[in-house]
Structure 1
Amino acid sequence: YYAGISIPLGIVMGIIIALLLNAKVKGMAFYRTIFFLPVIVPFAAHAILWKWILHPKLGVVNYIIELIGIKHPPGWFQVPGWSKPALIIMALWASGQAIIIYLAGLQDIPKSLFEVADLDGANWFQKILHITLPMISNVVLFNLVMGLIQAFQFFTQPFIITKGTGRPMDSMLMYNLYLYQQAFKFFNMGYACAMAWMLFVAIILITLFVFKTSKSWVFYGGE
């Protein structure tokens, strides 16, 4: 659930924000810095910060939600149905590194391609669809693979927020957290080792599958 939602959202949101940050606007360096800052925040501080921001009663987010007239805002980390969306929000907030990589890919696109498209009468959406996306498809592939690996290794934030329990109702009991419990709480070392090897094999197989299928949608400039 977490990987299936956070990775596609991260790719779409990252490209959109990178397109906005690629605009020629005064003070753009400041805005780029703002989006990158969450990346340098340690995972532990990241988890503690968002545990406070999304607190059902004292959090800033629910305070704003109540101000706009919603009487019963989400319980976030304290409600099973909202805990994973809260984790996804946390992950998207810290996607500045991917955004900067997309931005670098956008700035590497030859301007002559857009000039020719303008002469042919292409609109903004057509240029995005037929020039921008194909030209940054290799960057999308890189961020996709990195996102998959990070999603499979997701551990620190749910561990700190739930104090290693995965509660409520195991809604934040990620694979790595369950592996940790088996190894260092229940001392089922054999089972935990088997889980670790399964995780390793899963990451390898999925990564190989992504690279294998990428030949049909990734464009390289030298081709």
Structure 2
Amino acid sequence: MTATDVQATGVPRTRPATPSRPKRRREGAAWVFLSPWVLGATVLTLLPMAVSLYLSFTDYDLFNPPHWVGLRNYTQMFTEDPRYWRSVVATLTYVVIAVPLQLALALVVALVLKSVRRAKGFYRSAFYAPSLLGASMSIALVWRAIFNDGGTVDHLLGTGGWVTRPGWALLAVALLTVWQFGAPMVIFLAGLQQIPGELYEAAEVDGASRWRQFLSITVPMLSPVIFFNLVLQTIQSFQVFTPAFAVSAGKGGPADSTLFYTLYLYDRGFVASHMGYASAMAWVLLLVIGAVTAVLFRTSRSWVFYASDTDGGAR
């Protein structure tokens, strides 16, 4: 240690330790293994997002170079495009209908499967199958045939084809999403299996009914899982595209009742070749989803219960 390493007080000044060679080698190996993910995230996510943000301020038709127009796409979207607002209303209506119904059905089925003793794996796979098949175009086309004029629903109920009636077409699309309850159902079932059985036994000793046990034990203990499914399904519902495209033949009809946001974004970008306008719509959708997610996280403090909380309350 040299004299310059000693301060005026006579206390030796320690130098920052440099990483050892084995540690640097481990860090280098970690970056080597992470490089595919970093490269993929940069090339497939971050770079396209940056390009999309730039295009949202341009007039771009996919064939000619982008022309900078500033905020014109955004002002036109909010003030001059009535179909844009109809797509917003249709999407919000769909989210409000589909998400609660899907989660409620998933929770009911999970509660039933929890009490099943035999062939639980078979039933779990059978109820999960619609989540794997429902997102395909073929299932959406079959769904359209079922709810079309002369289809199964028309023969059973005599109400006419739902997909040709403005008041019913959106409900038909929402039911297709509700039918795909398998993924949240499996998550609910995993959460139910983590609830200690002693809580139900103590409640039975105290004379609590099944409904009281559900409200006082199941719902609070399952609230983190409910919150997780709620956030996940809400984000997915804002981005729904395939069912609306198949049911309305890509037009969002009848009377724009199934003109979901992503369907109108596709129409503006790839049908009308207004890619700059579609990019602006995509960024507004991203901000809205982020805002809705933030609100859900903010409000979760008042109703989501975590067993690790020291005060025994929600956070």
Fold-level similarity (TM above 0.5): yes
Partner residue, 2:172: 86
Checking the alignment, whether the CA contact within 8 Å between 2:131 and 2:182 is kept in structure 1 is yes
- Say whether 1:197 aligns with 2:283: yes
Checking the alignment, whether the CA contact within 8 Å between 1:74 and 1:82 is kept in structure 2 is no
Candidates 56, 70, 74, aligned match of 2:149: 56
- Say whether 1:4 aligns with 2:90: no
Matched to 2:226, the amino acid is V
Provide the rounded CA distance (Å) in 1 between the counterparts of 2:246 and 2:104: 28
Partner residue, 1:123: 209
Partner residue, 1:108: 194
- Say whether 1:43 aligns with 2:136: yes
- In 2 relative to 1, CA 62–8 (structure 1 residues): closer, same or farther, beyond 3 Å? same
For residue 190 of structure 1, report the CA deviation from its aligned partner: 2.1
SS of the residue 1:136 aligns to: helix
Provide the rounded CA distance (Å) in 1 between the counterparts of 2:191 and 2:246: 35
Matched to 1:77, the amino acid is V
- In 2 relative to 1, CA 147–153 (structure 1 residues): closer, same or farther, beyond 3 Å? same
Checking the alignment, whether the CA contact within 8 Å between 1:21 and 1:31 is kept in structure 2 is yes
Provide the rounded CA distance (Å) in 1 between the counterparts of 2:277 and 2:203: 58
SS of the residue 2:286 aligns to: helix
Candidates 11, 22, 46, aligned match of 2:114: 22
Provide the rounded CA distance (Å) in 2 between the counterparts of 1:75 and 1:27: 38
TM-score with structure 2 length normalisation?
0.66
Aligned-residue RMSD, C-alpha: 1.4
SS of the residue 1:132 aligns to: helix
For residue 187 of structure 1, report the CA deviation from its aligned partner: 1.8
The gaps in structure 1 that reach 5 residues or longer are 66-71
Paired-residue identity, %: 41
Which structure is larger by alpha-carbon Rg, 1 or 2? 2
For residue 51 of structure 1, report the CA deviation from its aligned partner: 1.2
Partner residue, 1:132: 218
The gaps in structure 2 that reach 5 residues or longer are 1-92, 310-315
* Residues 166-222 of structure 1 deviation map (CA, whole Å, 9 limit, x = unaligned): 111111110111111111111222221111100000000110110111011001121
Provide the rounded CA distance (Å) in 1 between the counterparts of 2:278 and 2:120: 47
Checking the alignment, whether the CA contact within 8 Å between 2:241 and 2:260 is kept in structure 1 is yes
Quick check: 148-157 or 37-46, which moved more? 37-46
Where do 4+ consecutive residues of structure 1 move more than 6 Å? none
For residue 95 of structure 1, report the CA deviation from its aligned partner: 1.3
Checking the alignment, whether the CA contact within 8 Å between 1:56 and 1:73 is kept in structure 2 is no
For residue 63 of structure 1, report the CA deviation from its aligned partner: 2.6
Candidates 155, 166, 169, aligned match of 2:252: 166
Provide the rounded CA distance (Å) in 2 between the counterparts of 1:16 and 1:112: 22
For residue 14 of structure 1, report the CA deviation from its aligned partner: 1.6
